[in-house]
Chains A and B, each alone.
Chain A
Amino acid sequence: MSEETILVSLEVNGKQVSGLVPARTTLVDFLRDELRLTGTHAGCEHGTCGACTVLLNGEPIRSCLVFAVQLEGQKITTVEGLSQPDGSLSILQDSFSAAHAQQCGYCTPGMLISAQSLLDRNAQPSDEEIRVAISSNLCRCTGYQQIVNAVKLAAERMARE
């Protein structure tokens, strides 16, 4: 016997998607289990760690704190949507790789989303602004130093292009 389900339709990474899920399905579970977009991670499921961060209409949100049904028809961007259309790395992703801004990679998708959203609204952030922007995302591996360096590198590279 299974639970009653509801049809949810969203735009994820530019594609129309839908799924039949129980009403209590969170966005992170919808992305991971229904759409099998497993790049978005869950670290606490209570809104503290930031691993589950995605963009909702361009703004970062915690996907563990919303139900998928609340977002009917809205636009979501996940880490899988950051790469270039041809699948190659975006400048930010490439800068993370170049600056060794990831170790275990578990916080990385959420970090990338928070950093991308910062760069979208502030093309030349200071170190302090970078730290504020990623303070919503916990990382246990890096001590944040190489992440700050990577975001700075990405901003420099974007300015040059």
Chain B
Amino acid sequence: MEKPFRYIGTKRRAKESPRFVTGQGRFVADIHVPGMKHVAIVASPHPSARIVSIDSAAARAMPGVRYILDGQEFCAHTDSLYVGVDAPKVTRYALAKDVVRYSGEWVVAVVADSRAQAEDAAELVEVEYEAMPHVIDPERSLLPDAPLLHPDHGSNRLYHRKFVWGPVEEAFAQAEERLAFRVTWGRSSTVPIETFGVLAQWHESDRLLDVWASIQMPKYPDQLARALRLPGNAVRVHYDVDVGGSFGLKRGIKHTVLVSYLARRIGAPVRFIEDRLENMRGGDMHGPDRFFDIEVAFNRDGLVKGLRMRAVDDVGAYAGRSPLQLGKPVSAICGPYQIPAIEYEPTSVMTNKTPQEAVRGFGQAPTNLALERTMDRVARHLDMDPIELRRRNFIRSDQFPYLIPSGSTYDSGDYHAVLDKALAGIDYPALLRQRDSLRAQGALAGIGIATCLEPSGGNSAFEPLFNAKNDTTTWMDSCLVRVDLSGAITGVMGTSSAGQGHETLVATVLGEVLEREPDNIRVVHADSLNALPSNSPVGSRMAIMLGGAAAGAARKIKATLIALAAHNLGCAVDDIEYAEGSASVRGDPGKMLSWDKLVEIAHRKFHLLPPGMEPGLQAGFVWEVPTGGGLPTADGRVQIYPCYSFEAHVVLIEIDPETGRPKILKYLCGHDCGVMINPDIVHGMTYGGIAHGIGAALYEKFAYTEEGELASGTLMDYLIPSSMEVPELHIVDHCTPSPLTTFGQKGSGESGYLGSAAAVCNAVNDALAPMGRSIETLPMSHLAIWNTIRPT
């Protein structure tokens, strides 16, 4: 048995909190560079049009205006942004050239001394358009006569493949029962309270670009340099900028290329902070917009034998990485269930809508909705308790490590135990009684269950799976640790944070390994020229990857200290006992070197170092994702994520039969993400994820009109749940350590969100079941519910 942790898993304050509660956070809009100029955007009012002419004479004459940039100039001097799948003709630039492909697409950028002056001038830019046919509906967009978004690409389909894993035909032929239905995840997103912003400054004498941005994006400096045709070391991204929420989304690469180009072009620092409409309409940050055609084969005992899942995802007008959001769910395509045969047919389609960006879970939450609706529909069909049905299909704790048909091996778990704990935690028999008594009083009431997985560890093996030309097999992260001459410890991470508490994570891990007080450890965010390689906090990876890298670096430091002590105390390395930073000879505690002494030797006394040891005391550690490194097989099987966290949601909902208004009465989530490094941080992200999923289930939608206009461009139309819509939330913890990670931790950055929308959807459908009605489309808005229940 390992000795219990000293700091890991204990209640500790987040290191970041003092600056946030005093208003001393340093967000991108707080950074002031003297002489900086401001950008306003002229956006397309058409979903599809040819740009006939641009007249900016009147705008140019306005006070304070410094520069006006259009797509002709911009596209001539920069390169297209990265495309995640093999679709090289789907080029994308920050400013449209010749044609616009969605309402809100950026056409002209105006730079002025103040933001207000830039906006005044932008209003005077006259763009003449010739409207062209557009397509908003993804199914229509796949038809042969649909207008083409990118004619050179040849179709509106960006990606399509049919994967068959296991004996699907046989499973369907032999099963006693079959069901088919469609379930739809609406177009929503993470919509952080801070919009995206970026500030860029070009230093001509050094040929160096400084960038401060509200960014959470893998390979951001590299993509930026490529688009600007600069070497990578001409771009310095400052990761010490606090990011005001992201959840995968803040990947303002197009904004950054634009602002950087302008800064260099006009020789002044240039800043662009999206306003809310810009963020919602032209910020290119919508989330998955996906429907699933499901066929399921099962026996009367409830065991699911085969699944066919056709998923069509509408990514909007350009590609980016968004088609890959159909790829990550391959990592947990059967959820927590033993489903031996699966056919998965993902299709990524373009329409004349705002482009899609990565959203919390990278496509897993919609897939979990489809799986959880499947489970509930099977249960209803068999008139079986949905909990019992899930129990029968769960992978059992004695079956781990468990290889799923699509090629990933789940590391560990105990799904039965977590579900049982959740049911006990919410007092399930009492919950049933409450639902039934509400029903007896004439209310519509329902209970929803969702049990699902959070793949974690952020590997990108779906890239080669979805693009044979991409053979990336590492998605490393790293940490650099320094012990200075005073003996103080500093951890250096190579990415920014958006509220996940990475400074606390690194300090806790370093403190744990080196047995030093985490409160005294400083953690800094390097800039991209100083940083060791990082792939940013995506895919619930940082507890595993940054935590693992920090532990690796700390262990190197510890090994150095032990070697140093052995050399000076005249014993073997194995004879040294390390405790609380001091090293002594085992069995002879009088022979001891304190932390301060060891540090002093390392920094000052070369003559006391063992031969070959570097002076100074620092260590870097770069860690490959555990289980990473493999390429897909020809039939599309690959190990994607290493670790699999599990959550079991239970919710009671009441619907007002007079108005259709839903109200969540009780909510509990059973959660197992292995060893928690900081429980408050894990719980916080889980609560937030649940609230976010409640929004996706009931309220949030980027709606489009038939004419191709975004109808929800403000926070008055796009409804983020407030403290009145989100009920009191409860979490019950369980811990099944991962055998693959340093401390047994798994990821939890997407927890809550991966199952809450499904649980709420199941609850609404349970409430509607006595009327014989159902809703399979999110968001199940107040109005949609009313339209379903109103007397016909």
Q: CB within 8 Å of B: which residues of A?
A: 1-3, 22, 24, 32, 36-46, 48-49, 51, 78-80, 82-83, 89, 93-94, 96-100, 102-109, 112, 127, 130-132, 134-148
- Complex Cα distance A93/B17, Å? 9
Neighbour of A138 across the interface among B19, B193, B498, B752, CB < 8 A: B193
Within 8 Å CB of A107, what residues of B? Answer: 193
Complex contact A144–B692 (CB within 8 A): no
Q: Which of B22-30, B222-230, B323-331, B458-466 contacts A (4 or more CB under 8 A)?
A: B22-30
Any chain A CB within 8 A of the CB of B188? no
Of the A-B pairs whose beta carbons lie under 8 Å apart in the complex, a sample of 14, sorted by A's number, is: A1-B64, A42-B29, A43-B193, A43-B244, A96-B17, A100-B17, A103-B245, A105-B25, A132-B723, A140-B193, A141-B685, A143-B690, A145-B726, A146-B680
> How far is the CB of A80 from the nearest CB of chain B, in Å?
5
Within 8 Å CB of B32, what residues of A? Answer: 36
- Complex Cα distance A112/B29, Å? 20
Within 8 Å CB of A136, what residues of B? Answer: 722
Neighbour of B687 across the interface among A2, A134, A142, CB < 8 A: A142
> How far is the CB of B71 from the nearest CB of chain A, in Å?
27
Q: Which of B202-210, B649-657, B713-721, B764-772 contacts A (4 or more CB under 8 A)?
A: B713-721
- Complex Cα distance A38/B238, Å? 19
Neighbour of B24 across the interface among A32, A39, A44, A130, CB < 8 A: A39
Complex contact B683–A97 (CB within 8 A): no
Asked whether A143 and B24 contact (CB < 8 A) given A45-B275, A48-B716, A104-B245, the answer is no
Complex contact A140–B21 (CB within 8 A): no
Any chain A CB within 8 A of the CB of B304? no
Which of B190, B690, B714 has the most chain A CB atoms closer than 10 A to its own CB?
B714
Within 8 Å CB of B25, what residues of A? Answer: 39, 105-106, 108
Any chain A CB within 8 A of the CB of B128? no
- Complex Cα distance A98/B17, Å? 9
Complex contact B716–A79 (CB within 8 A): no
Q: CB within 8 Å of A: which residues of B?
A: 13-14, 16-25, 27, 29-30, 32, 63-64, 113-114, 116-117, 190-195, 242-247, 275-276, 498-501, 680-681, 683-685, 687-692, 714-716, 720, 722-724, 726, 728-729, 752
> How far is the CB of B341 from the nearest CB of chain A, in Å?
38
Decide if the interface of chain B is mainly helix, strand, loop or mixed: loop
> How far is the CB of A73 from the nearest CB of chain B, in Å?
24
Complex contact A139–B276 (CB within 8 A): no
Asked whether A105 and B680 contact (CB < 8 A) given A44-B714, A51-B193, A143-B729, the answer is no
Which of B245, B722, B752 has the most chain A CB atoms closer than 10 A to its own CB?
B722
Closest 3 CB pairs of A and B: A39-B23, A105-B20, A104-B499
> How far is the CB of B723 from the nearest CB of chain A, in Å?
4
- Complex Cα distance A49/B157, Å? 37
- Complex Cα distance A64/B511, Å? 43
Within 8 Å CB of A135, what residues of B? Answer: 722-724
> How far is the CB of B274 from the nearest CB of chain A, in Å?
10
Complex contact B688–A141 (CB within 8 A): yes
Neighbour of B21 across the interface among A24, A46, A102, A137, CB < 8 A: A102
Within 8 Å CB of B726, what residues of A? Answer: 143-145
Chain B residue at minimum C-beta to C-beta distance from A51: B193
> How far is the CB of A138 from the nearest CB of chain B, in Å?
5
Neighbour of A106 across the interface among B64, B244, B687, B692, CB < 8 A: B244
Complex contact B276–A145 (CB within 8 A): no
Given contacts A106-B193, A143-B688, 10 further A-B contacts (CB under 8 A): A38-B27, A39-B22, A45-B275, A45-B276, A46-B276, A51-B194, A100-B681, A105-B17, A141-B684, A143-B689
Neighbour of B190 across the interface among A80, A96, A140, A144, CB < 8 A: A140
- Complex Cα distance A131/B64, Å? 45
> How far is the CB of A30 from the nearest CB of chain B, in Å?
13
Which of B23, B692, B715, B724 has the most chain A CB atoms closer than 10 A to its own CB?
B23
Neighbour of B243 across the interface among A98, A104, A142, CB < 8 A: A104
Complex contact A131–B724 (CB within 8 A): yes
> How far is the CB of B613 from the nearest CB of chain A, in Å?
41
Decide if the interface of chain A is mainly helix, strand, loop or mixed: loop
Neighbour of A100 across the interface among B13, B498, B691, B722, CB < 8 A: B13
Chain A residue at minimum C-beta to C-beta distance from B12: A100
> How far is the CB of A50 from the nearest CB of chain B, in Å?
9
Within 8 Å CB of A97, what residues of B? Answer: 13-14, 17-18, 21
Complex contact A138–B687 (CB within 8 A): no
> How far is the CB of A33 from the nearest CB of chain B, in Å?
8
Neighbour of B715 across the interface among A3, A48, A104, CB < 8 A: A48
Complex contact A46–B714 (CB within 8 A): yes
Chain B residue at minimum C-beta to C-beta distance from A78: B23
Complex contact B722–A108 (CB within 8 A): no
Chain B residue at minimum C-beta to C-beta distance from A96: B21
Asked whether A138 and B729 contact (CB < 8 A) given A3-B117, A38-B23, the answer is no
- Complex Cα distance A5/B724, Å? 42
Complex contact B716–A144 (CB within 8 A): no
Chain A residue at minimum C-beta to C-beta distance from B680: A100
Complex contact B18–A38 (CB within 8 A): no
> How far is the CB of B393 from the nearest CB of chain A, in Å?
29
Chain B residue at minimum C-beta to C-beta distance from A43: B193
- Complex Cα distance A137/B192, Å? 13
> How far is the CB of A53 from the nearest CB of chain B, in Å?
12
Within 8 Å CB of A141, what residues of B? Answer: 245, 499, 684-685, 688
Within 8 Å CB of A24, what residues of B? Answer: 116
Chain B residue at minimum C-beta to C-beta distance from A25: B116
Neighbour of B728 across the interface among A79, A108, A112, A127, CB < 8 A: A127
Complex contact A140–B720 (CB within 8 A): yes
Within 8 Å CB of A80, what residues of B? Answer: 22-23
- Complex Cα distance A89/B687, Å? 25
Chain B residue at minimum C-beta to C-beta distance from A112: B21
> How far is the CB of A19 from the nearest CB of chain B, in Å?
14
Within 8 Å CB of B13, what residues of A? Answer: 97-98, 100
- Complex Cα distance A96/B21, Å? 7
- Complex Cα distance A79/B22, Å? 6
Within 8 Å CB of B690, what residues of A? Answer: 143
Within 8 Å CB of A98, what residues of B? Answer: 13
Which of A39, A46, A103, A112 has the most chain B CB atoms closer than 10 A to its own CB?
A103
- Complex Cα distance A97/B14, Å? 7
> How far is the CB of B352 from the nearest CB of chain A, in Å?
26
Within 8 Å CB of B242, what residues of A? Answer: 104-105
Asked whether A104 and B192 contact (CB < 8 A) given A42-B29, A127-B728, the answer is yes
Within 8 Å CB of A40, what residues of B? Answer: 23
Complex contact B684–A146 (CB within 8 A): yes
Asked whether A103 and B685 contact (CB < 8 A) given A41-B27, A98-B13, the answer is yes
> How far is the CB of B276 from the nearest CB of chain A, in Å?
4
Within 8 Å CB of B19, what residues of A? Answer: 105
> How far is the CB of A106 from the nearest CB of chain B, in Å?
3
Within 8 Å CB of B245, what residues of A? Answer: 103-104, 106, 140-141
- Complex Cα distance A136/B724, Å? 10
Within 8 Å CB of B275, what residues of A? Answer: 45
Neighbour of B64 across the interface among A2, A89, A148, CB < 8 A: A2
Neighbour of B244 across the interface among A3, A48, A105, A144, CB < 8 A: A105
- Complex Cα distance A100/B688, Å? 12
- Complex Cα distance A127/B722, Å? 14
Within 8 Å CB of B499, what residues of A? Answer: 102-105, 141
Chain B residue at minimum C-beta to C-beta distance from A99: B680
